[in-house]
Structure formats: structure tokens, C-alpha cells
Structure 1
Amino acid sequence: MKSDDEKLRELFEVDERPILSRTIRKAKTLSIMRSIIISLMIIVVAGFVFLGSNSTALNIISNRKKNSLIDWYNIAMPNAYVGYCQVNDGITVGEINYSRFRFLGSKPIKDGDFTESYTYVPLINNKEEIYNGIDNYLLKTKDELTKKIAGYNKSGKHIMEFYHPLERFENYSNDFEKLNEIDNNKLAEMSLSFDKPYSLEEVKAMIPKEVTLNWYWVDTYDPKELNYRVLDEYRVYGMKAIDRDGEASDPSQKFIDTIVKHKNSEDNNHIYEKIYNTLSGGNGEIKKDDLKIIGVVVSGDVKSLKTLKEKEFIKAATLGAVADKY
């Protein structure tokens, strides 16, 4: 039988174990919540840091890509210019969407829309459409059923052809006859392949004043590499005779500077390096006199272009873009 003291102690005794258990659970909950909050803060901060770094990296790459694209048009792409550019950056990758245009006389016409992608992640495939030429063609195939449209670009323009004067071909393009089938109110461009190399000044004097001289085809070929094939406009290199505003210019220094700038890079499968080595001839320097012109691209109204028909220095002529004068 319990004594009065024991009964009194039991009456006022408090069980501390439930209170301790609740305290421990509360402490654990607070610890978990604190860990979650800290983790979320770290994720948010890391996210902002990543997005900032991603934006900075892509901005640097896009500027470099855009400048490289413009440089490429300085030595290639006859009578074609980079127009409006829209840069779209994503996560680790981005795209430059741009329009291309060309001049027919003094009139600019659109020549299609194109995309160049870029990334700072080496494992992601980075397209190089403009340099390998694939994106320029409406269709590229040897299938005889589609051969009729294989010679057009994605905007529906006929792709111009070029014939090197050191090679001999069974047939030469002579599209002057086609001019008779085109309305005199139309504008057109034509590639002219010469019978031999000429200097820049000689070419300027050879082309009639009423015809717009758009582009010079420079002989950048090692004679050992010539293989009796006709080159299309995406496989030739040279200088633009007019700038992006349609004004006449002397592009020789820009052409040389662009080649020197990229000659030690891997841009465009070392095309810059090959051109530099050919034009410098092992002398370590390209001079204006080293630039031999073996063809041009000209444009204007149909009547003006017909004045070139009987010029003896023209070995071949290919029609390119055609558009309304107004």
C-alpha cells in the first residue's frame, strides 16, 4: 500500500517524455525546412549565375559568328550580302537568322532566309550551312528526274556557273540568247567567265558603263587542282565591286585583309589558308597585283546586258536572278 508521500508525488508528477518527443520532432522539421530553403536559395542563385554566364558566352560566340559570316561574304558568295540579322539565344545553343539580298543594277532583291547555329558545348552538332553550301540549294541530287531543278537555290534563283580559263570544256554556257526571251523591263544578273586572267583596272575598263559591275572572280586556284569541272557560284571566291549600300568600291584591300585575318584559323575547312598560300605564292604576302580576275558578275536591265554579247573576252555567260525593274 502506497504511503501518503508517494500518492502526493504521483499526483503532482509530470511525464516529460511526450514534451521531449514533440520538441525533437519540431527541431527536425525546422532543420529540414531550413535545409530546403537553403537548397532552394542555392539553386536560384546558381540558376541566375548559369543564365548570366550562358547569356554572356552565347553573346560572345554570336558576335564572333556574325563577324565571321560577314567576312565570308567578303571573299565568297558572288553578288550576295548579309541583310537583317536576328539573334536567338537559348540554353547552351543559339541561332542567327538572317536574310540575304543581292543587287540587280541599283535595285536590291531578297535572296532567301538562312540560319546559322552556334554553341559552346563541343558535343552538340553545330551546323555550318553557309560554308559547306548545302543550305543554298533548292535541291541537290544527281537523280535525272530532278536534274531540272537541281540548278536553283532555295529562293528559286538560277545558280550561276563559272568556267576557269585554263580549262577546256566541250560546252560553254551562253545565256545571252536567253535574254531575247526576257522582257526589256526586267533586271537580271549574269556571271561572265573570261578567256584569260586580267588585272583589276583592265576589267573596270572592259565592262560598259551602262552595266553594273557587281563582283570580281579572283583566280585562287592552284593549276594542279583544276579538274575540268564547272564551278557554281558557291564554289568560287572573289571581291565585291559594290558595298552593301550599292555604292562602287575598290574591295581589293578588304579581300586581302579578310584572308590574312583568317589564314591561320580552321574556318571554312581551311579555305582561307589555301587561298592565302595560292595568292602569296610562298612570298608570305598578298599584294594587289597578285589578284588576277578571271570572271565577273554583272547586272542591269536586259537591254544593257545585251551589249556584252559580242565581247571577245567573254568565254561563257550564265543567267542568275531575274526581277521586275519596278
Structure 2
Amino acid sequence: MADKKNPKENELDQLFDPNNSGDSFSKIIGKARRRSIIRNILISISVLFFLIILVGFSWLSMMRWSETNAIRDIELFNRITNPNVEESGSQQQGNSFFEGILRFNRYKEVEGIPVDWSEEVMTYSLFGGVSGFAGSHSPVQLQEEGEDQVNVYDRETKQRMMSFYHPKVAYDQLANGVKELENYPEDTAAEVALSFDQTYSPSEIEDAMPEAINVKWYWTDTYSAADIDRKNEGIEEQNGSGAPELATQIYGFDASMETEGFIDTIETGLRIENGKYIGEYERIHDNLTEEDSPLKEENVEVIGAVVTGSVEDLQPLEDSTMIRASILGVTANPYQ
């Protein structure tokens, strides 16, 4: 019995058979061409599918990398900004193929009571950029009737925002937020921004505070001599009218961090190449010490603080000689 031939051998026999017609030859060529086209299509689809998966994984990896770096930059910077503001975690949200959104839920803690605070919303890009949303982010400012002082409120929660007075700036008026406390029930929990008459160490401030008061945050002097001159010149040009520093404009550290934690944050920020806030870390470092010198504890001078307590506990601060000015922050009813 003759061996069975496979289809390809049969096609070759037909192709070179002298008795084969031209039509059969054309059919064989057409069939081979179709097979070649189908094979090429399948190869192309496989390659395309592989490339899509590769690009997808690369895109996901780059977005994760950008997100991680953005969270690192923001959380590190928040360690020396936003007095008495705590974070309860971040949420990620896609905005486009090249951009994502980070939302940081925030609150303030006043004598064990959490008080809502505005979200921090930032965007990060596929290529590593971090920025806030465009548009107005100004807080609400209201002037009390018959008073020159302007009260500032958080844009979202409408809670009072703190402000601070630098000891070397000649303001025409100084606020007395502690005195405002007499308008509240004695058991109201409150946050107060204290501006001192000079620089003090954290230990000196702790010793000077009544025992029932909690020191939450220290405001550090990160201003250069030129900064102070500009502020004083600006006040003179405005006929003595000068606004204090908003809580969103100052630097300092949580009382639990201590001075070493503040220094460590600055040094860590300086080591992050292309970090979002590298310019601010460099400016703070250069203002506190010489350009190439390492930061030391004696370079960090405290000129203000944030304290919390009940109205009854805070009112004695009005008689303190070290307090140049004070501004009331958030308040909370302990029974709500």
C-alpha cells in the first residue's frame, strides 16, 4: 500500500503535475496566499496584544511611581506646615490618562474632640509633577462691625483660622484672641494661636504654660532679615496697616516631634531630588543657617505656638508677659 501523503505534499504534486490545469495552479497559489495572510494577521494581533499589555503595565507602574512620590512630598511637607492639622489618610482618583488626583482628609483635634477641616486636594502627573487645582483658594475674610480686625475662616468648614504676629514686625494693631474667650461658655474647648514677644525654646514655653493647657504646635522663625525689612516697609507704605501671617503661610513642628524632628524633615526634603518643595526646604535651611552648614538645634528659634484647652483654662494666658498677641482658632462644644 502506498504511503499516505499529507495535504502539503498533495498540493506540491498538483502544482508540478504537467497535466494540471492553470485554474488548479491559481487555486493552490490563492490558498497559500490566504494562509500566509491569516498567519500574518494572527502574528500581528499577538504582537499588538503583547504591546498593549506591556504599555498598560508600564503606564500603571509610572502612575504608581508618580503617586507614591506625590504622597511622599505632600506628607513630608505637611510635617512642618498646617498647625494642629491632622490627616486621616488619602484617597486616589483618576482624572485622565496622564493625571491623577489625591485627596487628603483632614481634621483638627481640640481637647480630644475631632473638628472637621478642609480637604487638601492635589494632582499628580504621569511624568512626576505635583500641583494644586487652578482657581481661587483664598479663605473667607470677614471684618467685625466697628472693629479693624479681620477674622479669617476656613473655606470649607467656616471654622476660624489662626494667624500669627512676628516679634520683629511693627504691626499697628495686635489681636487679643484670649480676651474673646469670655464670650464662650467656660467648658468650650478652644484652639489659640500665641505669638511671642521674642524667641523661646520649647522647654521654656512648656514651663510657662499653665498645667491644664496643651501645647500642640510650635511656630519657628524661618524669616531672613530681608523678609522682616520688607514686611516693615510694607506696613509703613500702608500707613501702619499690616496683616499677620496666616496659619497656611508659616512653618513649624508638632510638639510631639520636637526640634530634632523639624531638622530631620528639612534635611530629608533637601535630599529628595526634584521634589515638589525642594525650593522651600532650601530657603528655610539657608535662612536658619549658613548655606553649607548642617542645621543644629540652636538654629531653630520658636516665636509662637498653638495651644488648646477649655475656656476656663486658657483665660489666664491674658496676663502672660511673653505673649505679644493671640488669635482664636477653632472651638468645639464637648457635649455635641
TM-score normalised over the length of structure 1: 0.81
Q: Within 2, Cα distance between the matches of 1:297 and 1:68? A: 24
Match of 2:221 in 1: 219
Q: Which consecutive segments of 4 or more residues in structure 1 shift more than 6 A?
A: 147-150
Code of the aligned partner of 1:278: N
CA contact (8 A) 2:110 2:190 kept: yes
Q: How does 1:272-291 map to 2 (within 5 A)?
A: 272-282=281-291, 284-291=293-300
CA deviations 1:20-54 (Å, max 9, x no partner) are 33434433333333333222222221121122222
- SS in structure 1 opposite 2:185? coil
The whole-number CA distance in structure 2 between the counterparts of 1:308 and 1:324 is 21
Q: Is contact 1:99–1:114 with CA below 8 Å preserved after alignment? A: yes
> How far apart, in 2, do the equivalents of 1:36 and 1:189 lie?
70
- Closer/same/farther in 2, CA of residues 68 and 26 from structure 1, 3 Å limit: same
Which residue of structure 2 lines up, in the alignment, with residue 153 of structure 1?
155
Equivalences for 1:157-306 in 2 at 5 Å? 157-226=159-228, 227-228=231-232, 229-241=243-255, 249-263=256-270, 265=273, 267-268=276-277, 270-282=279-291, 284-306=293-315
Q: 2: CA distance between counterparts of 1:312 and 1:148?
A: 24
Which range moves more in the overlay, 277-286 or 306-315? 277-286
Contact kept? 1:73, 1:81, Cα under 8 Å: no
CA 1:135 to 1:208, structure 2 compared with 1: closer, same or farther past 3 Å?
A: farther
Q: Amino acid of the residue matched to residue 19 of structure 1? A: S
C-alpha distance in structure 2 between counterparts of 1:135 and 1:80, whole Å:
21
Q: Are 1:323 and 2:325 matched, yes or no?
A: no
Q: How far apart are 1:86 and its partner, in Å?
A: 2.1
Query: 8 Å contact 1:191–1:297 — kept in the other structure?
Result: yes
Q: Is the 8 A contact 1:116 1:127 kept in 2?
A: yes
User: After superposition, where does 1:101-180 map in structure 2 within 5 Å?
Assistant: 101-121=107-127, 126-128=130-132, 137-138=138-139, 151-180=153-182
Query: 3-state DSSP class of the match of 2:249?
Result: coil
Matched residue type, 2:226: K
Aligned mates of 1:205, 1:274 — CA distance in 2: 31
Distance 1:113 1:26, change over 3 A: farther
Segment of structure 1 superposing worse, 252-261 or 46-55: 46-55
Residues 220 and 278, structure 1, Cα contact 8 Å, conserved in 2: yes
Q: Structure 1, residues 215-255: CA drift from partner, whole Å, max 9, x if none?
A: 000111112112145210011001101xxxxxxx2421111
Query: In the alignment, is the contact (CA less than 8 A) between 1:161 and 1:191 conserved in 2?
Result: yes
Q: Are the structure 2 counterparts of residues 149 and 127 from structure 1 closer, same or farther at C-alpha, using a change threshold of 3 Å?
A: farther
Backbone CA RMSD of aligned residues: 2.9
Higher mean alpha-carbon deviation, 260-269 vs 64-73, is at: 260-269
Please identify, of 285-294 and 101-110, the stretch whose mean Cα deviation from structure 2 is larger: 101-110
Q: Does 1:70 align with 2:75?
A: yes
Matched residue SS, 1:54: helix
Structure 1 residues 138 and 47: alpha-carbon distance in aligned structure 2, compared to 1, 3 A threshold:
farther
1:76/1:236 contact within 8 Å kept? yes
Aligned counterparts of 1:48 and 1:166: Cα–Cα separation in 2: 61
Which residue does the alignment assign to 1:35? 40
- 1:149-184 Cα offsets, whole Å, 9 max, x none, are 864332222221111000111111222232122233
Deviations 1:71-120 (A, max 9, x none): 11111111112222223456443232220122112223331223222123
* In 1, Cα distance between equivalents of 2:245 and 2:53: 50
Most deviating of 289-298 and 172-181: 172-181
Within 2, Cα distance between the matches of 1:282 and 1:148? 38
Equivalent pair of 1:57/1:120 in contact (CA under 8 Å): yes
Match of 1:10 in 2: none
- Percent identity for Structure 1 against Structure 2: 24
Partner SS, residue 272 of structure 1: helix
Q: Hey, what's the Cα distance between the residues in 1 that align with 2:118 and 2:186?
A: 25
